[in-house]
Amino acid sequence: MGAHAIDGIINLNKPQGRTSFQMVALVRKLSAVRKVGHSGTLDPDATGVLPVLLGRATRLASFITDLPKTYRAVVEFGSATTTYDSSGEVTESGDASSLTSDRIETALHSFRGPIEQIPPMYSAIKHQGRALYHLARAGEEIARKPRRVNIYRLEVIDWARPLLTIEVECSKGTYIRSLAHDLGQLVGCGAHLKELIRTRSGPFHIEHAVSLAELEEAFRSGDWRRFVYPPDHALSHLEAIAVDAAGEQEVRYGKPLAMEVQTATEGEYRRVHSTEGRFLGIVRFDAQAGLWRPKIVFA
C-alpha cells in the first residue's frame, strides 16, 4: 500500500514544548502522506492526546473536535499571568496561605455544568482576521465575547497549597487556562495554569497514545502503520447504518438513502457501512424529505 493510500488517525501523546502544528508537519514529512491534520489544538506547554489525521481522515476533524475531552490540570494559586499559564508575565500576586480545600471546593461548584467563559487574549481565536495572540503580543487588549461551554465533570485530585490538581471533562472550546485564571479571581488571590495533560479526546485515551519517540522509531523501522487507527474509530459515538450493494452504490455517488429509521431526528448524523463492514462515509437525516443525505463519502 502506498503512503498516499493511508487514511486513518494516530493517537499521539504530544510532548511539552512542541506545537500541534509542528507535530502535524513532522508526521507529514515522515509518512510522506500529503494531507495531514489534527483535531483539537494543544498549547505548546501542554502534553497528552493529540489525534493526528491522515489522508481522507482529515475530513472527520470537526466530528472528533466536537467530542468531549478530559484533562488533568495543575493550578498554582498566588499569581495571575498574561497568558493564564506559567509562560506569561505575572500581572498580579496574592496571598494563598489561608486558602483551604473547603473554600476551593465551594468555588469549583460555580464552574460545573454549562458556563459562560471568556477566552484568553493569548489564543488562536480570530479578531478581524488576526489571531488574538498576535494582538496580545503587540500589547493590544480586545474585548472578548463570553462563550458557552460545558464542564461535565470537575474533580479535585490533590491539594498541596498552593498547587491544586484537578480533572476536568468538558465540551469543545473550553479553555482550561481560563478556568484556572477565573478560579484564582473568584478566590481572590490569583491563579494560573501550571501544568496540563489531555488524557482523552473522544475515543482516544492517553493509555493507548504513542509517544513521539516511539513513533519516530516506528517510522525508522517502517512499521509505523500499526499506530494508525481506521477513520471510523473516531465515529463510534454515531449509530451505524448497514447498506446492501445497491445502497453502497448510492452512497458512492453521493445519492440520498431512503431508509426508514423510526428513531431518527432532523440533522442527525450516522456512519454508513457496507454489509461486509467497509466504512463508506457519514450521512445526515433530512426529516422533511425522509432521506439520509451523504455528508462525507469515503468510497
> Which has the closest alpha carbon to 193: 51, 44, 65, 49?
44
The catalytic position among 7, 43, 85, 232 is 43
Q: Count the Cβ atoms, other than its own, within 10 Å of residue 190.
A: 22
3-class DSSP state of 295: strand
Question: Would strands 269-274 and 279-286 be described as parallel, antiparallel, or unpaired?
Answer: antiparallel
Contacts of residue 214, Cβ cutoff 8 Å, sequence gap at least 6: 227
By CB atoms closer than 10 A (0-12, 13-18, 19+), residue 265 is exposed
> Any idea what the Cα angle at residue 169 is, between residues 163 and 172, rounded to 5°?
115
Active site residue 95: no
Q: Which three cell numbers stand for residue 152?
A: 461535565
Residue 36 pairs with which residues in a beta bridge?
Answer: 54
- Start-to-end Cα distance in the chain: 17
Q: Do residues 107 and 115 lie in contact, with contact meaning Cβ atoms separated by under 8 Å? A: no
Q: Containing H/E element for 6?
A: none
Query: In angstroms, rounded to a whole number, what is the distance separating the alpha carbons of residues 236 and 38?
Result: 18
Residue with cell 423510526: 262
Residue with cell 517510522: 219
**Residues belonging to the active site:** 43
